Amino acid sequence: MEGFEKAIGSKGASATVTNSSGSSLLLTRPPRRAVSLWTCSKLCGVCFIAGVIVGFTLKRRVRRWAATLLRRIKDD
């Protein structure tokens, strides 16, 4: 197990390990990329605000479109 730990260490995503019988193994692991809680919170806040702005804009456009459509129907 020491060879495995030395081979993996803090290097990249793959390593070659030789066991006692002389055959080698290629071991892979996904890279560790974590997002900090602060970064995640900022991203969530920005997305929430953008969603609120887009929601109100869309609501206003739909109301205008519906009012125009109803006026056309009423005039006919």
Q: Read off the pLDDT of residues 7-54 as tens digits, 9 standing for 90 and up.
A: 555 545 555 656 566 666 666 767 777 889 999 999 999 999 999 999
Given a cut of 90, whether residue 56 has pLDDT beyond it is yes
Are 15 and 50 part of one and the same domain? no
**The pLDDT value given to residue 23:** 64
Structural domain containing residue 20: 1-31
Are 27 and 41 part of one and the same domain? no
DSSP 8-state class, residue 50: H
**The pLDDT value given to residue 27:** 65
Are 39 and 24 part of one and the same domain? no
Are 48 and 75 part of one and the same domain? yes
Give exposure, 10-20, as e/b (b: 16+ Cβ within 10 Å): eeeeebebeee
Are 22 and 44 part of one and the same domain? no
Judged on CB neighbours under 10 Å (0-12, 13-18, 19+), 8 is middle
